[in-house]
Structure 1
Amino acid sequence: MRVLFMGTPAYAVPALEAVAARHEIVGVVTRVDKPNRRGNKIAFSPVKEWALAHEVPIFQPESMKDPSLAEELAALSPDVGVVVAFGMMIPENIIHLPKHKTINIHGSLLPRYRGAAPMQYSVLNGDPEAGVSIMYITPELDAGDVILSRSLAVGEDETFGELHDRLAALGAAALTEALDLIDCGGVCAVPQNPAQATFAPSITKEECVIDWSLPAGMVHNRIRGLSPAPCANTQLPDGKRLLIYRSERVSAIYSGVPGEVVDVIRKKGPVVMTGAGALCILSAKPEGKREMPGFELVNGHYLSVGERLGAPE
């Protein structure tokens, strides 16, 4: 089939490659180029880099509602549109432009976790299972009929970043399966039940601040659910910020106030008290420093037993 692909970040590239291995990519729509972090060089999206390497026509509209864009895309005569982490709302005229309309990989088992951060919420909520859904795009956010869903188990210590990479591979495989169904006319899409819908909005800065009064399991899930980005954080005793990337629940029983360093586990890191139970910090980054193993926080005198995180002295 002739596929019009819309996507932007690295997460979309495995799906793009999987589709290209079985179908013809007639065009790629991606976000406009942006300066890199230092602002002195324009950075191309990973999807644009792929398209350039494979000499595929590239479209980077400022607005998806530009009338000339619809004309240019229609000239490609696409059989189906595929959207993976595109990052822009797609108007109805573009959705319905391809012969078989437009489908999307969503990073959850719909109707659970509609919205911008489904994978993060799967980890934040401690779900034992996550997955992807291939659905038809509709004007209502993530509400289209589902062609198929595929799931996998989530590890108790798995981070959002690790789950992200596994779901990217799972999504690519599910997408090719869905395209085969479309190609042979075998799709039996299932409408979503709106009464079962839950939502996963973008993560705010405030949600990244660790509340040590919560139980250890909830704090652990917040740390791994926001790792490696946007990253859970807390304050060191000197008031500087500490980004925490990995933690581990501790079975030993301690007493202390939430945020207090109550022990140090050799070759691992400081043990911090929560509202119920304790956690060991395995990997973190003090403000202005590099990411380091938890035990280096103690060896480098960033933290000591008796000091308290989240409550600078």
Structure 2
Amino acid sequence: MPSSSRPAAEGLRIVFAGTPDFAAHHLQTLLDSRHQVIAVYSQPDRPAGRGKKLTASPVKALALTHNIPVYQPLSLKELAAQQELAALQADIMVVVAYGLLLPKAVLDTPRLGCINVHASILPRWRGAAPIQRALEAGDTITGVTIMQMDVGLDTGDMLVKAECAILPDDTGGSLHDKLLTIGAPALLEALDQLQHGLAKPESQDDRQSCYAPKLHKDEALLDWRQPAVILERKIRAFNPFPVAFTQKAGSEDRIRIWSSRVVPNNTDKAPGTVMEVSSTGIRVSCGQDSLLLEQVQLPGKKPMGVDELLRGHPYLFSLGDPLELPA
């Protein structure tokens, strides 16, 4: 990598591209550093909340509080958008969960190229939902990779890697927060290496790669024919979004499941059958073993423990009740 002609104390001129909270945390890290964020790119405002009011992304909101220019193109493939970026004369572009593909012309525009903060240890879990897919798969280790971007999907050379353990009680939310704490210093380390010409890029082994597709709400419907251990992991992975759910047979009301526990057992009950209803939980038969639902949420209500649920709705679940199975 070429070294910077700027004195180290000046830092780098950075264009930041990102959208959600995960990205905003890294933007704040750059704002607190010696580097200069000269512009921010973020997804266009989206409808949010019950009123579907157009709402700025967390990254845009943070940038505006610091009087940083914000750009929100629908695409970076247009020549006008590329010329607009080039006019900023950035040293480097930092991309964190931006949501738009960067064409080669954009990747080649900053003097030091574009780097990405990716929430996995690449090449494992390339794609949009690495945190949730790692939990869902039962991984015990994950982390953050700072990567020099190329035209592939998360295929670029790795600059800095920081690992962390996935604990048995981790959720999508708790793991997200862990990766924030290790991603920010890893990003600063990579920037220092690039500025001083000390980076040692490491190629990814494509044979070890796997894909982390975007989350869809429909896949959060629990399939009780699966083993309980798989369902328990999915419940943790999809907490706090999109939140795993089930439905009583014949009902369209979604019962969201926030936490659960595997209960090893042998049973001849059909998958999805309510086997136990008590203050400790609602036990449901699965393809293997059973799952004790410990915290649930009814439509229009807040998440609650099963003991609280049964006090308000004592007849909602009965022994032998069938829960819906996906078609």
In the alignment, structure 1 residue 196 sits paired with structure 2 residue 208: yes
In the alignment, structure 1 residue 2 sits paired with structure 2 residue 13: yes
TM-superposed CA distance for 1:294, in Å, is 2.4
Cα displacement string for residues 76-120 of structure 1 (whole angstroms, at most 9, x for unaligned residues)? 221111000000111111111111100001111111111111111
- Aligned pairs (5 A) from 1:108-123: 108-123=120-135
Q: Which one is further off, 125-134 or 280-289?
A: 280-289
In the alignment, structure 1 residue 282 sits paired with structure 2 residue 294: yes
TM-superposed CA distance for 1:40, in Å, is 5.1
Find the aligned partners of 1:265 and 1:156 in 2 and give their Cα distance: 24
TM normalised by structure 1 equals 0.93
TM-superposed CA distance for 1:237, in Å, is 4.2
Q: Secondary structure at the match of 1:161?
A: helix
Cα displacement string for residues 109-165 of structure 1 (whole angstroms, at most 9, x for unaligned residues)? 111111111111100011111111110111111100000111111111211121112
Q: Secondary structure at the match of 1:105?
A: strand
TM-superposed CA distance for 1:247, in Å, is 0.9
Q: 1:265 to 1:187 in 2, by over 3 A?
A: farther
Q: Which one is further off, 46-55 or 281-290?
A: 281-290
Structure 2's unaligned 5+ residue stretches are 1-11
Question: Which position in structure 2 is the counterpart of 1:15?
Answer: 26
In the alignment, structure 1 residue 48 sits paired with structure 2 residue 42: no
TM-superposed CA distance for 1:204, in Å, is 3.5
Find the aligned partners of 1:119 and 1:34 in 2 and give their Cα distance: 23
Q: Which one is further off, 105-114 or 299-308?
A: 299-308
Question: Which position in structure 2 is the counterpart of 1:181?
Answer: 193
Structure 1's unaligned 5+ residue stretches are none
Question: Which position in structure 2 is the counterpart of 1:28?
Answer: 40
Amino acid at match of 2:211: F
Amino acid at match of 1:261: V
Find the aligned partners of 1:92 and 1:39 in 2 and give their Cα distance: 39
Q: Secondary structure at the match of 1:104?
A: strand
Q: CA contact under 8 A between 1:270 and 1:298: conserved in structure 2? A: no
Question: Which position in structure 1 is the counterpart of 2:152?
Answer: 140
Q: CA contact under 8 A between 2:222 and 2:325: conserved in structure 1? A: no
Q: Which one is further off, 197-206 or 108-117?
A: 197-206
Q: CA contact under 8 A between 2:44 and 2:74: conserved in structure 1? A: yes
Q: CA contact under 8 A between 2:224 and 2:325: conserved in structure 1? A: no
- Aligned pairs (5 A) from 1:222-301: 222-237=234-249, 239=251, 240-251=253-264, 256-266=269-279, 268-299=280-311, 300=313, 301=315
Identical amino acids, percent of aligned pairs: 38
Find the aligned partners of 1:307 and 1:65 in 2 and give their Cα distance: 54
Q: CA contact under 8 A between 2:63 and 2:70: conserved in structure 1? A: yes
TM-superposed CA distance for 1:238, in Å, is 5.0
Find the aligned partners of 1:36 and 1:121 in 2 and give their Cα distance: 25
In the alignment, structure 1 residue 308 sits paired with structure 2 residue 322: yes
Q: Secondary structure at the match of 1:218?
A: helix
Q: 1:232 to 1:40 in 2, by over 3 A?
A: closer
Find the aligned partners of 1:125 and 1:166 in 2 and give their Cα distance: 18
TM-superposed CA distance for 1:224, in Å, is 1.0
In the alignment, structure 1 residue 61 sits paired with structure 2 residue 65: no
Find the aligned partners of 1:58 and 1:281 in 2 and give their Cα distance: 44
TM-superposed CA distance for 1:72, in Å, is 2.4
Find the aligned partners of 2:266 and 2:325 in 1 and give their Cα distance: 22
- Aligned pairs (5 A) from 1:90-129: 90-129=102-141
Amino acid at match of 2:323: L
Cα displacement string for residues 182-225 of structure 1 (whole angstroms, at most 9, x for unaligned residues)? 12211001011111111111234442221112211111011111
Q: CA contact under 8 A between 1:15 and 1:169: conserved in structure 2? A: no
Q: Which one is further off, 295-304 or 117-126?
A: 295-304
TM-superposed CA distance for 1:178, in Å, is 0.9
Q: Which one is further off, 190-199 or 253-262?
A: 253-262
Question: Which position in structure 1 is the counterpart of 2:9?
Answer: none
TM-superposed CA distance for 1:243, in Å, is 1.4
Q: RMSD of aligned C-alpha atoms?
A: 1.9
Q: Which one is further off, 250-259 or 272-281?
A: 250-259
Question: Which position in structure 2 is the counterpart of 1:81?
Answer: 93
